[in-house]
Amino acid sequence: MKKDMKKIIIVAGEESGDMYASKIIDNFSLNNNIKFYGMGSSKMKNTKAKIIVDSSSISVMGFFEILKIYPKLIKSLNRMKKSIREIKPDLLVLIDYQEFNMKLAKYAKLNGIKVLFYISPQIWAWRKNRLKYIKNYIDEMAVIFPFEKKFYEDEGISSHYVGHPLLNDDSYKIKYNVNKDYIGFFPGSRLSEVKNHLPILSVVIDNMKKKYPEQKFLVSRSCNINKKIYEKYFLNKKNVSIITNENIYETIDMCKIAVAASGTITLQIALKKIPMCVFYKISSSTFFIIKFLVKIKFISLVNIVLGKKIVEEFVQNNASVSNIQNEIEKINFDSDYRQSLIKNISSIEKVLLNNSSKTNICQLIEKLL
Does 296 share its domain with 360?
A: no
Task: Assess contact for 51 and 44: CB atoms under 8 A.
Answer: yes
Calculate mean pLDDT across residues 68-85.
Answer: 91
Does 111 share its domain with 94?
A: yes
Q: Structurally, how many domains does the chain consist of?
A: 2
Is the residue at 223 inside a domain?
yes
Distance of CA 182 to the CA centre of its chain: 23
Rounding to the nearest 10 degrees, give the CA dihedral for residues 38, 269, 173, 45.
20
Does 359 share its domain with 321?
A: no
**DSSP bridge pairs for 93:** 10, 116
pLDDT of residue 304: 87
SS3 content of the chain, % helix, strand, coil (to 5): 50, 20, 35
User: Does position 210 have pLDDT exceeding 60, yes or no?
Assistant: yes
Q: Measured between alpha carbons, how far is 91 from 236 in angstroms, rounded to an integer?
A: 49
Q: Which amino acid is present at 274?
A: I
pLDDT interval class at 282 (50, 70, 90)? confident
Lowest mean pLDDT across 123-132, 141-150, 187-196: 123-132
Does 116 share its domain with 187?
A: no
Task: Indicate the helix (H) or strand (E) that contains 313.
Answer: strand 313-315
Does 130 share its domain with 178?
A: no
Of 29 and 329, more confident: 329
Task: Assess contact for 143 and 120: CB atoms under 8 A.
Answer: yes
Left, alpha or beta for 97 (phi > 0: left; psi -120 to 50: alpha)?
A: left
Query: Which residue in 124, 106, 123 sits closest to 115, CA to CA?
Result: 106
Q: Measured between alpha carbons, how far is 172 from 268 in angstroms, rounded to an integer?
A: 7
User: What's the pTM value of the predicted model, to 2 decimals?
Assistant: 0.81
User: Does position 139 have pLDDT exceeding 70, yes or no?
Assistant: yes
Is the residue at 18 inside a domain?
yes
pLDDT of residue 10: 98
Of 325 and 170, more confident: 325
* All residues at 6 or more sequence positions from 226 whose CB lies less than 8 Å from its CB, including other chains: none
Is the residue at 67 inside a domain?
yes
Q: Measured between alpha carbons, how far is 36 from 49 in angstroms, rounded to an integer?
A: 5
φ, ψ for residue 184, nearest 5 deg: -105, 140
Is the residue at 1 inside a domain?
no
pLDDT of residue 133: 83
Does 184 share its domain with 136?
A: no
Does 274 share its domain with 130?
A: no
User: Does position 295 have pLDDT exceeding 60, yes or no?
Assistant: no
* All residues at 6 or more sequence positions from 100 whose CB lies less than 8 Å from its CB, including other chains: 11, 13, 58, 73, 76, 77
Is the residue at 280 inside a domain?
yes
**DSSP bridge pairs for 36:** 8
Provide the terminal-to-terminal Cα distance of the chain, rounded to the nearest Å. Answer: 17
Does 154 share its domain with 186?
A: no
Q: Measured between alpha carbons, how far is 275 from 326 in angstroms, rounded to an integer?
A: 14
Task: Assess contact for 30 and 38: CB atoms under 8 A.
Answer: no
Q: Measured between alpha carbons, how far is 25 from 37 in angstroms, rounded to an integer?
A: 10
What does the pLDDT look like over 264-277, one tens digit per residue?
A: 999 999 999 999 99
pLDDT interval class at 120 (50, 70, 90)? confident
Is the residue at 309 inside a domain?
yes
Is the residue at 153 inside a domain?
yes
pLDDT of residue 43: 92
Q: Measured between alpha carbons, how far is 191 from 359 in angstroms, rounded to an integer?
A: 34
Is the residue at 257 inside a domain?
yes
Does 189 share its domain with 337?
A: yes
Does 146 share its domain with 192?
A: no
Does 157 share its domain with 179?
A: no
Does 129 share its domain with 176?
A: no
User: Does position 34 have pLDDT exceeding 60, yes or no?
Assistant: yes
pLDDT of residue 328: 98
Task: Assess contact for 41 and 119: CB atoms under 8 A.
Answer: no
pLDDT of residue 163: 86
Range of the domain at 335: 171-352
What does the pLDDT look like over 166-180, one tens digit per residue?
A: 888 889 999 998 889
CATH code of 241's domain: 3.40.50.2000
What does the pLDDT look like over 245-259, one tens digit per residue?
A: 989 999 999 999 999
Task: Assess contact for 177 and 250: CB atoms under 8 A.
Answer: yes
